[in-house]
Every structure is written in C-alpha cells, then in structure tokens.
Amino acid sequence: MTDEDKQRGLSTRAIHGHSSRDAYGSPYTPIYNTTTFGFDATADLLDVMDGRKRGGLYTRYGLNPTIFALEETLAGLESAEAAWVFCSGMAALSALFLTHGRHGIACIGDAYGGTLELLEQQLPQLGLRTHCLLGSEAGQLDALLDDGVRLVFLETPTNPTLDIADIRALAAKAHAHGALLAIDNTFASPVNQRPLELGADVVMHSATKYLGGHSDLTAGVLMGSKALLEPVWNWRKNLGSMPAPETAALLSRSLRTLEVRVRQHNAGAQAVAEAMQCHPRIARVYYPGLPGFPGHELAAAQMHGFGGMLSIDVKGSGADATAVADRLRLIRLAPSLGGVESLVTQPCTTTHHGQTADERARRGISDSMLRLSIGLEDPSDLIADLDQALHT
C-alpha cells in the first residue's frame, strides 16, 4: 500500500486498492481461470519463481493475477503490508498456528468452535503447546508468557457473548515478552475494527462472513507485515490451501461494497438491540452498541462501529428459546453470520452443543440465549419478526 493509499478512505481502498491494469481496460482484474502460466524463456520463469518479478506461475502457489489483485485490496483494508488468502478461515488459522505457534499458543476468551477444537485437540497431537483461557482467566497470561509462550490469539468481540478485549493493552503485554498478538477480526470486519492499527501483529478473517457478505463463498485471509507473513507462504503452498480463482474474483467483487454493507449491518443491529432491550419477553441483550453493556466504553474507543452481531436471553427455559427460534419466519435458523440475510442460532443447540450446561454457564452462555446475525433487511421487518416469534 502506498502512502497515498493510506490517506484514502476504506471504500476507496476497497474499490481502487489493486494496482493491476487490464490490457483491455476492464476496471477489475478478470478471472484468470488457469492453473499454470507460460513463459518465452527459462530466465523469465526463474524471475517469477525467485520473486524478482511479479507474474503468474502456478495457481496453488498464489501466483495468479486474480489472487494478487484480491490480496492487494485486502491488505489495504487492514493497513497491512501483505495479505495471503486461503480456501477457508480455518485454513488461514491452521497456517498461522503451524508457522508462529511452535513456542506455544495462548488463546484468550471464547473462540470459534473449530478454532478451539484445533487448539485443544489437533495441534497438541503434533506436540504444540496450547492454552485456552476463559476471558475471566486472562490474568494467567503473564505466567504463560514468562513460561515462553510466543503467540497470543483472541477474538474480539467474542462469540456469542460479544465480550470486548483491549487490543492495545494485550499487544503491549505480548510485545513486552517478545510474543506476537494475532486477532481473529471476523466478527468486526475491517470497517469496524483494524487491529494492526492498534498494535496487533497478525489479523485473520473468515472471509466466508462479512468480507464475502452474501453467504455464497468460503475463504480466509491473514494480514500483517511482510516479515511475519513470509514464512506462512510455504505452509499455504504445501498444505495446498489456495482458493480457486473464481472464488477470489467473487470475494474481490464483494469487497467493493464492504463498507456500505457493514454500516447498514451496524445500523440494523443497533435498531434491533434497542427494540429487544425494551421487550418484556427479553431478559438481557448483548450488544456493544448499548450504553449499559459492559464492553461499551472499550468498544467505543477501539472500534469504528459496533457490528451486526448481537445475542439475546429470552425469558424462560432453553426450550422456550428454541420455540422462539423455530417461530421466526424472516430470520432463518442457520449457523453462519455476516451475510445480507439475517440468521439466528441457539448456542446451546449449535456452536456450544458439545459442552455441558455447566461449561456453558462458565462461559456466560445461558440455554435461553439466541445469537442473531443482522442482515440488510429493513430493521422494522426484523423487529416485527422477532415480535411475532416472542408473542406467545
């Protein structure tokens, strides 16, 4: 990203943040639907292979112009030197942990189910030392850092309780011990939060969510300095976790509307959160944009918007909340987020189903909690749908 790019707003970077110019004048890099690229001479091939010249070579390596254009744009959105794309969020995280987690990984607070499974079950099989702390146990981080852990990882806001962690403070703590701070920024999106600007070292996104935004693609991305991303490249190449050029082009197209979409997600979620806060059948609303919410002040300080995700505790039992979820008509029951359509999940029957009720309670997740991903529908229609589902 040039200095001129850094002065520009997020939408401008999303639309003009790639340097390639198409020979036929197309405003965007077309889909190079090819696996391999030809050369006139071996010397030209070696220039690309050894990184002296940028060009297509082999798509699994990431050496494909459609992938370059996407990565340049993504890097610009997080003010990063570099971005590598992957075929899923989990592929991005796996490559990050295998590259930078060899001296131990500390995960703080609740994290995506697949991430916790990878950290608690798969990576230890390879001899990696992993520690998953609840948000309330974050005080143990100092001892882990003293003990040599060199990668701190977390999500903020968290799923599904929307807890907010102080990125600046955690970056300072990690750096004081020579450790790195990596943030899964999926819930916030770069529109609402840019962790690298707050001192984090690596940012990861499941691009399947807000970056893609239409529930029609699966992809992931890591962003950071060239020095930190460089060693990830060979892992991605040899784990073979490159997205197809078609997916890369679809994601590039989605990014052009990222800022307008996320602003609307924010506005919709704020309206729904405020309506739910006054609803007689709702016991509690979890949304960082509500002034009474515990993480509100911190979120206001480090975020640019409060996001499209919120959770509600329905008054009554887990079965009562299930009945509400089943009565929703516009808001679909589905386990993802960040798309144009609103979705609902009940953590105790989906993301946290494998845990005991006690374990969920320790994480602050009640059985009567519903998590909402607010889409781009008219907020009044979403509130009306919730009203009819809550009316017994």
Ligand X SMILES: *Cc1c(COP(=O)(O)O)cnc(C)c1O
Write down the catalytic residue from 13, 32, 110, 112.
Answer: 112
Write down the catalytic residue from 13, 150, 163, 184.
Answer: 184
Q: How many residues bind ligand X (CB under 6 A)?
A: 16
Residues 6+ apart with CB under 8 A from 121: none
What are the tokens at 171?
Answer: 């970056």
The footprint of ligand X on residues 219-238 (CB under 6 A) is 220
- Considering beta carbons, is residue 45 or 239 the nearer one to ligand X? 239
Query: Is there binding between residue 160 and ligand X (CB under 6 A)?
Result: no
Write down the catalytic residue from 150, 209, 261, 363.
Answer: 209
User: Shortest Cβ distance from residue 304 to ligand X (Å)?
Assistant: 18
User: Residue 29 and residue 35: Cα distance in Å, rounded?
Assistant: 16
Among 110, 184, 367, 385, binds ligand X (CB under 6 A): 184
Q: Which one-letter amino acid corresponds to residue 126?
A: L
User: Residue 15 and residue 156: Cα distance in Å, rounded?
Assistant: 27
Q: What is 366-391 written as a DSSP string?
A: -TTEEEEE--SS-HHHHHHHHHHHH-
Known catalytic residue: 60? Answer: yes
Q: Which one-letter amino acid corresponds to residue 63?
A: L
The 105-144 contact track toward ligand X, x by CB under 6 A, reads -------x-xx-----------------------------
What are the tokens at 59?
Answer: 């798509």
**Which residues in 133-166 are b (16+ Cβ under 10 Å) and which e?**
bebeebeebeebbeeebbbbbbbbbbbbbbbbbb
Known catalytic residue: 184? Answer: yes
Q: Which one-letter amino acid corresponds to residue 158?
A: T
CA atoms within 13 A on the CB side of 348: 24
Please give the residue whose beta carbon sits closest to ligand X in the complex: 89
- Considering beta carbons, is residue 115 or 247 the nearer one to ligand X? 115
The footprint of ligand X on residues 324-363 (CB under 6 A) is none
User: Shortest Cβ distance from residue 171 to ligand X (Å)?
Assistant: 19
Query: Is there binding between residue 94 and ligand X (CB under 6 A)?
Result: no
* Alpha helical stretches, state H, 184-312: 189-192, 226-239, 245-255, 258-277, 296-302
Write down the catalytic residue from 8, 28, 47, 60.
Answer: 60
- Considering beta carbons, is residue 104 or 220 the nearer one to ligand X? 220
- Considering beta carbons, is residue 95 or 390 the nearer one to ligand X? 95
- Considering beta carbons, is residue 62 or 89 the nearer one to ligand X? 89
The footprint of ligand X on residues 192-211 (CB under 6 A) is 206, 208-209
Known catalytic residue: 6? Answer: no
User: Shortest Cβ distance from residue 94 to ligand X (Å)?
Assistant: 9
Query: Is there binding between residue 186 and ligand X (CB under 6 A)?
Result: yes
Query: Is there binding between residue 218 and ligand X (CB under 6 A)?
Result: yes
Among 59, 64, 73, 88, binds ligand X (CB under 6 A): 88
Q: Which one-letter amino acid corresponds to residue 321?
A: A
User: Residue 344 and residue 110: Cα distance in Å, rounded?
Assistant: 19
Residue 332: burial class (beta carbons within 10 Å; 0-12, 13-18, 19+):
middle
User: Residue 113 and residue 107: Cα distance in Å, rounded?
Assistant: 12
The 263-282 contact track toward ligand X, x by CB under 6 A, reads --------------------
Known catalytic residue: 8? Answer: no
User: In angstroms, what CA-CA distances link 360 with 84, 147, 248, 324, 389?
Assistant: 34, 29, 37, 20, 25
Query: Is there binding between residue 307 and ligand X (CB under 6 A)?
Result: no
- Considering beta carbons, is residue 89 or 289 the nearer one to ligand X? 89
Query: Is there binding between residue 90 and ligand X (CB under 6 A)?
Result: yes
Residues 6+ apart with CB under 8 A from 356: none
Catalog residues that contact ligand X under the rule CB under 6 A.
88-90, 112, 114-115, 155, 159, 184, 186-187, 206, 208-209, 218, 220
Instruction: List active site positions.
Output: 60, 112, 184, 209
